[in-house]
Chains A and B, each alone.
Chain A
């Protein structure tokens, strides 16, 4: 077995943009959330450091958006799956609080994200060729199988495990989908 000599470099494969986008959104979210929490906390007033952190966070999130756009423009849709998983971790829509207005706001946001995900998925299928479609189907099946086995295992050990949050299931299934896609793609990437 040898590696296909005509493999694309790292920047063309989408790995670089994925790393930029994942670190940009996670780091930016962490910075912005820290600044807002600090400014609205005990001190009650934003310091210049808080403003700097907030601006750095927003710039980082903007950079993450540009990187995700680059991935979509290049048709590297498989990288959007782990990216969605990383951003689900950041958003944590389950932590909406008890206020009805908060829950409504998070519900609407969830709906918008779901609609966006459906549109991206439809575009993914339209832009993919027949082999890529097959790989995505196999990856999605892998995620489904992983989800089913995972839910059975969780049910068996439920009393010893922490409470399962819906977004963790989504994150796990997205990662499993992407993992399945990459695993199946290996079969076509290598040759004798």
Chain B
């Protein structure tokens, strides 16, 4: 279970992107995007930075520690 909350699903919905489109942008599998969105998996730092960069946000605007 993930220990970090994220806004990936909201950010993706705002841009009307599918999971497949986001996966293509990040060069990961759609299953990985699904696992992160459902907070089943915490991405590593390089992928977390890539996500933040893609949405033009700071990393802490996408990911927050689960209190």
Contacts and interface: CB of A to CB of B under 8 A. Distances in A.
Interface of A: 4, 6, 8, 129-132, 185, 187-189, 191-192
B64 interface: no
A188 B44 contact: no
Interface of B: 18-20, 27-32, 34-35, 38, 40-41, 43-44, 46-47
Given A129-B29, A132-B32, A188 B47 contact: no
A13 to B, nearest CB: 11
Contact of B27 (A129, A187, A191, A192): A129
A191 B32 contact: no
Given A6-B19, A187-B40, A129 B34 contact: no
Contacts of B35: 131, 188
B43 A130 contact: yes
A8 B47 CA distance: 23
B47 to A, nearest CB: 6
A131 B30 CA distance: 11
Given A6-B18, A132-B29, A187-B40, 8 more contacts: A4-B34, A8-B30, A130-B32, A130-B44, A130-B46, A130-B47, A132-B31, A188-B38
15 contacts: A6-B18, A6-B20, A6-B30, A129-B27, A129-B47, A130-B32, A130-B44, A130-B46, A131-B28, A131-B32, A188-B38, A188-B40, A189-B34, A191-B38, A191-B40
